[in-house]
Amino acid sequence: MLFEVLLALVVGAVILFVMNKIRGSEVLKTGDGWWGVGGRPEAGEETTIRPFHLSTSDEELEDLHRRMDQTRPVPSLHNSQFNYGFNSEYLQKVISYWRNNFDWRKQVERINQYPHFKTNIEGLDVHFVHVKPKSVPEGTKVIPLIMVHGWPGSFYEFYGLIPLLTEPSQPERCVFEVVCPSIPGYGFSEAPHQKGFDSVCAARVFHKLMKRLGFEHFYAHGGDWGWLVTTNMAQLEPKTVTGLHINFAPPSKPGLLVTLSILLGKTFPKLFGFTAMDLERLYPAVQHLLAEPLLESGYMHIQATKPDTVGRALNDSPVGLAAYILEKFTTWTNKNFRNLDDGGLTRKFSLDDLLTNIMIYWTAGCITSSMRFYKENLSQGLNKPHTRIPVVVPSGYACFPNELMHTPELWVRQKYQRLVSFTPMPRGGHFAAMEEPDKKINKIELQDLATPPPKFGL
């Protein structure tokens, strides 16, 4: 039996090696796009970069408070905690804090502490935060870095991380110049007005953004949808993206080696380099293996099929919007939080930070357009070209123990063929940038990826 397994692995490895050599020379292709209202102007698009300053008003807050005051609570079932969704009794406590204690004007000032801008790309006003180091000691290298969020996050989830990246920790190492854009349809970036805006389109737009800012080469980081957008950026222009760092990497199209590792990994873990954490996460009891994806993926089916239906309801109700989004910050942080009366919501986050993220969605009115990103990306399943093309830029992966989907190093290497680092993190879940800013993109790991600049064999 062992001989047959080893033979199958050897044959499979040879096939994969040849295929990867062929695919490794592939570059993701994309055409130009136009997502604005009407047709592309004959004079060409406006390329000005304009400062953006967030503001609020009495009318905006009065409307918000009126809608919260008119909410109709529904009692939760006895002893249900967060197993039926966001617990209604605890939701009332959150809404009470939001209504009576949360200071949106103060949070607007916090958001505005970093420079914000907008620029028109492919017919859309694209919003981004651009933070340069305040001081650069002699001998310290400045590394441009784009960081891309996901759903239901925003550019704000990186606010705890920005100061750690833009201040040099050691002389003669490096410091980062950080760009945090809002994906079109999210936050303060304009939503596409045409169908078809997917992750590859976002990647192309962000390449144009970085070039407009004067960066010929840069590093990229992403989690959640940001993982896919930055991965596509590396596939589109592997000589422009100097290095890639991600903390989410589900297998987009499992190949022979991944399939064999699933079937045989529990019996022969050393053959696949599986660690104790890999075995614990990949081989739970059968009922958990089947139930967990169903428990946490209902939102995805809705958003990948009929986002506009639920989007209209959430866009009208701040309480509904908060329940829908904040539920993800409980169970996606730790699945066991669903068994707590408060959902563990404030064990890793502050209500002020969570509600600031909600307010970005509320004031921008972007919940529907943000959910459409699922339909545009998932409507064709796994048949998109980028699922078949490997990433050949130097890459790093931060593996957080409470991430929604566990990806062993072997699986990550199938897609990211120049994996420089695979770092098991001591704690943290899906929203690691907000939850563990001191661990996420472990700064030293990024510095090691950046110094010295990797040379490409392309």
Which residues carry out catalysis?
Answer: 224, 374, 430
User: CB within 8 A of 408, min separation 6: which ones?
Assistant: 261, 272, 273, 274, 275, 278, 282
| Angstrom distance (rounded) from CA 452 to CA 238 | 17
Amino acid at 69: D
| Angstrom distance (rounded) from CA 224 to CA 430 | 8
The pair phi, psi for residue 53, each rounded to 5°, is -130, 120
Given a contact cutoff of 8 angstroms between Cβ atoms, the answer to whether 137 and 169 are in contact is no
| Angstrom distance (rounded) from CA 374 to CA 304 | 5
Compute the half-sphere exposure of residue 324: CA atoms within 13 Å on the CB side of its CA: 26
3-state SS of the chain is: CHHHHHHHHHHHHHHHHHHHHHHCCCCCCCCCCCCCCCCCCCCCCCCCEEEECCCCCHHHHHHHHHHHHCCCCCCCCCCCCCECECCHHHHHHHHHHHHHCCCHHHHHHHHCCCCEEEEEECCEEEEEEEECCCCCCCCCEEEEEEEECCCCCCHHHHCCCHHHHHCCCCCCCEEEEEEEECCCCCCCCCCCCCCCCCHHHHHHHHHHHHHHCCCCCEEEEECCHHHHHHHHHHHHCCCCEEEEEECCCCCCCCCHHHHHHHHHCCCCHHHHCCCHHHHHHHCCCHHHHHHHHHHHCHHHHHHCCCHHHHHHHHHHCHHHHHHHHHCHHHHCCCHHHHHCCCCCHHHHCCHHHHHHHHHHHHHHCCHHHHHHHHHHHHCCCCCCHHHCCCECCCEEEEECCECCCCCCHHHHHHHECCEEEEEECCCCECCHHHHCCCCCCCHHHHHHHHCCCCCCCC
Amino acid at 392: V
